[in-house]
Amino acid sequence: MTFEDFTLCPALQRGVADHGYTTPTPVQREAIPPALAGRDLIASAQTGTGKTAAFLLPALERLQTQKPVRRSAPRVLVLTPTRELASQILVEGKAYGRHARVAQGCIVGGVSFGPQLNLLGQRIDLLVATPGRLIDHLERQTVRLDQVELLVLDEADRMLDMGFIHAVTRIVAKCPRERQTLMFTATWDDRLAKLAREMLRDPIRISIAPSAATAALIEHRVHLADDGAHKDKLLRHLLTNVAGQSLVFTKTKRRAKKLAEQLERQGYDVDSLHGDMKQSARNRTLDALKRNQLRIVVATDVAARGIDVPELALVINFDLPHVPEDYVHRTGRTGRAGATGTAVSLVSLDDRPLLAAIEKFTGKTIERHAIPGLEPVIIDLPAGHRAKPQPTRQPKRPQRGGRPQGKSAPRASGGERHGERVATPVGVDDHRPAFLMRKTGAR
């Protein structure tokens, strides 16, 4: 199947071809025909599957080929959770629509109102917005949604996770009841089912398995780490030995900032991306990353949403995410649409429950890797594996973290419990063995 099999107008066909796409991705194959036919749709598709084009192309087709009743207000509204995602959608929309006569714009928080008021004062057919700022404009009566023919809820699960449910409900209430609605979400639960019942009419359901398409192009790895200092060393090794650009995730804004500063002092070409930064600074960092003028970005989850950098070779979870879905979102930043990428998680003992939750969520055991010279002191073995007694191995980094060997140290070296083998007990907390039972290399 090619894009020519869709009944898209010549202007959009040219836009897609100019962009270098030839074959539609699975979500595009399944979503575009019913969306073009005017049906409501719920698509369960992860980021990285090509979902943006799956809703933008039918939206642009409508705007290009169907005459408006009045041209005074947006006819397509795309709601998306973050500013970065909104800008990315606009960039894609402008690329596909470059030969079409469609006015597109984006309004997001964190930037001044002035330019947005100018934008909203002009003709605008397709509006991409984040919920918070759109509510501000609705309250100031600087935007009208009564001409919306097509509403897209992009990353609906994430909008709910970010607490936008009331904003979304209020926005949708301002749109005409008679409209088409497309909902895209990576996950599905009762909250989304309720939202869908309230906002969609007889929707077609499409589910694109995470393993489909691009997910297979990401190599997932776990590096076990004994403590923070070990993580630092692993991180430096990984960053030094990758050819392309890297994105490193931390769990807090402070840690992102601190880690970026630390890496910068060590001579790496690095910047951070987090919610405490002004929007203009965030845009600068993103721009530098996209232009390949920056090799490493240390980011938090929210700030990293919507990053789409074709060259991104490596995603590193310096801290594992607390929400397993975020693992999929984070690692979806690499291995995008045909490119291959690596996703590495640095996992300390404390992180093991989070790793277990991620493996349960994705249904896959992530392969454990070790870097020669930087092996962890603690090793894990396949569940049920009967380890042969081994000679005591001296740790490569005997002083790293944890308690010193002594009366409070865990059991003797070479001991095995629950399929876990503790090579040498330096730095091992004896009371947290259970999650070392994971199978290794089962993928």
User: To the nearest whole angstrom, how small is the minimum distance from the Cβ of residue 46 to ligand AMP?
Assistant: 7
- Give CA–CA dist 343/352, Å, rounded: 17
Residue among 84 and 219 whose Cβ is closer to ligand AMP: 84
* Residue keyed to tokens 């991104």: 312
- Give CA–CA dist 128/59, Å, rounded: 12
Q: Which two tokens stand for residue 307?
A: 């990053």
User: To the nearest whole angstrom, how small is the minimum distance from the Cβ of residue 151 to ligand AMP?
Assistant: 18
Beta bridge partners of 43: 184, 206
Element (H, E) at 330: helix 324-331
Residue among 51 and 230 whose Cβ is closer to ligand AMP: 51
Q: Are 75 and 68 in contact (CB under 8 A)?
A: yes
Determine the 3-state secondary structure of 85 from DSSP: helix
User: To the nearest whole angstrom, how small is the minimum distance from the Cβ of residue 64 to ligand AMP?
Assistant: 19
Residue among 76 and 422 whose Cβ is closer to ligand AMP: 76
User: To the nearest whole angstrom, how small is the minimum distance from the Cβ of residue 56 to ligand AMP?
Assistant: 9
User: To the nearest whole angstrom, how small is the minimum distance from the Cβ of residue 307 to ligand AMP?
Assistant: 10
- Give CA–CA dist 157/439, Å, rounded: 31
Residue among 21 and 318 whose Cβ is closer to ligand AMP: 21
Amino acid in the structure at residue 395: P
Cα–Cα distances (Å) from 72 to 100, 123, 144, 378, in that order, read 18, 6, 9, 65
Residue among 95 and 383 whose Cβ is closer to ligand AMP: 95
User: To the nearest whole angstrom, how small is the minimum distance from the Cβ of residue 45 to ligand AMP?
Assistant: 7
- Give CA–CA dist 365/240, Å, rounded: 27
Amino acid in the structure at residue 24: P
Residue among 277 and 312 whose Cβ is closer to ligand AMP: 312
Q: Which two tokens stand for residue 284?
A: 């600068």
User: To the nearest whole angstrom, how small is the minimum distance from the Cβ of residue 84 to ligand AMP?
Assistant: 11
User: To the nearest whole angstrom, how small is the minimum distance from the Cβ of residue 24 to ligand AMP?
Assistant: 5
Residue among 52 and 345 whose Cβ is closer to ligand AMP: 52
Alpha helix stretches (DSSP H) within 156-300:
156-161, 165-174, 190-199, 228-240, 253-265, 279-290
User: To the nearest whole angstrom, how small is the minimum distance from the Cβ of residue 120 to ligand AMP?
Assistant: 26
Q: Are 153 and 81 in contact (CB under 8 A)?
A: no
User: To the nearest whole angstrom, how small is the minimum distance from the Cβ of residue 177 to ligand AMP?
Assistant: 28
Residue among 90 and 428 whose Cβ is closer to ligand AMP: 90
Longest dimension (CA), the chain: 82
Closest-CA residue to 269 (of 254, 250, 251, 291): 291
- Give CA–CA dist 127/79, Å, rounded: 9
Q: Are 250 and 272 in contact (CB under 8 A)?
A: no
- Give CA–CA dist 421/376, Å, rounded: 12
Determine the 3-state secondary structure of 42 from DSSP: strand
- Give CA–CA dist 358/327, Å, rounded: 7
User: To the nearest whole angstrom, how small is the minimum distance from the Cβ of residue 47 to ligand AMP?
Assistant: 5
Residue among 47 and 130 whose Cβ is closer to ligand AMP: 47
Determine the 3-state secondary structure of 368 from DSSP: strand
Site of interaction with ligand AMP (CB under 6 A): 21, 23-25, 28, 47-53, 308, 336-338
Residue among 86 and 423 whose Cβ is closer to ligand AMP: 86
Determine the 3-state secondary structure of 422 from DSSP: strand
Residue among 234 and 307 whose Cβ is closer to ligand AMP: 307
Residue among 28 and 116 whose Cβ is closer to ligand AMP: 28
User: To the nearest whole angstrom, how small is the minimum distance from the Cβ of residue 176 to ligand AMP?
Assistant: 27
Cα–Cα distances (Å) from 293 to 26, 107, 315, 316, 332, in that order, read 33, 27, 17, 19, 22
